Amino acid sequence: MEQVNRYIYVVTQKLPKQQRADIERELRGLIEDMIEERVMGGEEDESAAEQVLIELGNPHDLAAKYRSEPRYLISPLLFDTYLSVLKIILICIVLIQIFVFGISFILDPTHVQEQFNHLIRALIFVPVQGFAWTTLTFAFLDYAMRKEKKAGIAGKSGWHPAKLPPIPDAKWEIKQSESVLGIMFTIFFLVLFTFSPHLIGATVFSEGNLKNVIPFFNLEVFREYLPFIWILGLLGLFKDTVRWVKKSWTNSVFLTHILFTIISGLFGVFMFANPELYNAEFMNELVVYGMVEAGSEKLDTLAKIWSLAIEWIVYLIGASTLIEGIQSGVKWIRFRRSHGSKIV
């Protein structure tokens, strides 16, 4: 009877708790009836039990019949889009890792073993992250879309031809390449900021070869911002995924776009306004690497440019956020005028 117990366990273990005991009891009765019929009053043995279980078929199939409706993390509604986004993200991640490896190898060929180990670790760890976040984003989107659909069916008025959304105007279309580019861009910077912030800086050439990079940032301070950069990056990925799925400007696309612009702009201003963020030794390192001579006029000019740049980057971010925000706002108003304000 051991096999019977195991069979029943496989069938019932994944079923809802409140039904489990009842189904188990009923199924056990059935199997016992079937065995009894087979042996016709003779000895019940394992081979009869085995025969009956084979007749009942794969326990996973039986369990599936007991479950009323199929359950999805990502339903057929979005699965195709999910697969293509996932592919792009994974390809991007791998390419960027190899790119970063290449750069660090050119800069410092003596540590190739270390760099290679780093590459392998990154190739294992980062795609898993990418996979997890993409899946989570899509699971959420899918859940929301199914809920919306259900509400539409259950609603009093239900579906009506008059309620069909208009065919998107070519004018308001979002090109797929635009969303893909956005996703690639976000992933590129996420990976760069996370793994190689030391590569963001002034390049030092000697005899035509890239010899070193003097980082713009104080790497320790920069790392403290990483969690926020990640949150922002994921928001960006979410925004571009919404654009990809909707394929045209809609109220929700406008909303996520403007929100993202404002949040990332505020964060950028806040982050780049911190004087500690910058590499305090930047000018000294320029001298050390022989880019400029100590005490020269060129050094003075460069130092001025450096401090001006630090100051102006904040204004630049602020201004571009403001412009982008206002432009999108105006575009949204035009959109609502031409579509009426009902469509969401």
Q: What is the rounded distance in angstroms from the CA atom of residue 45 to the CA atom of residue 36? A: 10
Closer by beta carbon to another protein, 68 or else 341: 68
The span from the CA of 313 to the CA of 27, in Å, is 71
Select from 24-32, 111-119, 190-198, 253-261 the region that touches another protein (CB under 8 A).
Answer: 24-32
Q: By C-beta, is 65 or 156 nearer to another protein?
A: 65
Of 32 and 285, the one with the shorter C-beta distance to another protein is 32
Please enumerate in sequence order all residues whose Cβ is within 8 A of that of 111, keeping only pairs 6 or more positions apart, or say none.
104
209 sits in which H/E element: strand 209-215
For another protein, what does the binding mask look like between residues 277 and 306, x meaning CB under 8 A?
------------------------------
Tokens of 292: 């400029």
Distance between CA atoms of residues 302 and 151, nearest Å: 62
- Contact range with another protein by CB under 8 A, out of 32-40, 74-82, 99-107, 193-201: 32-40
Alpha-carbon gap, residue 221 to 262, rounded angstroms: 23
Which residue, 62 or 273, is less far from another protein as judged by CB? 62
The binder of another protein chosen from 3, 5, 22, 323 (CB under 8 A)? 22
**Contact with another protein (CB under 8 A) among 8, 27, 96, 245:** 27
Q: Which of 13, 12, 35, 33 is nearest to 24 (CA)?
A: 12
26 touches another protein (CB under 8 A): yes
Q: How far is the CB of 146 from another protein (least distance, A)?
A: 21
Determine if 14 is a binding residue for another protein (CB under 8 A). Answer: no
Name the residue with tokens 């410092």. 108
Amino acid type, 1: M
| Among 30-38, 223-231, 240-248, 312-320, the segment contacting another protein (CB under 8 A) | 30-38
Q: Measuring CA to CA, which residue among 233, 181, 192 is closest to residue 215?
A: 192
Task: Rule CB under 8 A: choose which of 16, 33, 108, 327 binds another protein.
Answer: 33
* Residue 98 and residue 119 in contact, taking contact as beta carbons nearer than 8 Å: yes
Between 7 and 244, whose beta carbon lies closer to another protein? 7
Opening angle at CA 36, ends 35 and 42, nearest 5: 110
Distance of alpha carbon 8 from its chain centroid, rounded?
Answer: 40
Residue 24 interacts with another protein (CB under 8 A): yes or no: no
Residues 46-105 contacting another protein, CB under 8 A: 56-57, 61-62, 65-66, 68
Helix (H, G, I), strand (E, B) or coil at 158: coil
Question: Which residues of the shown chain bind another protein in the complex (CB under 8 A)?
Answer: 19, 22-23, 25-27, 29-30, 32-34, 56-57, 61-62, 65-66, 68
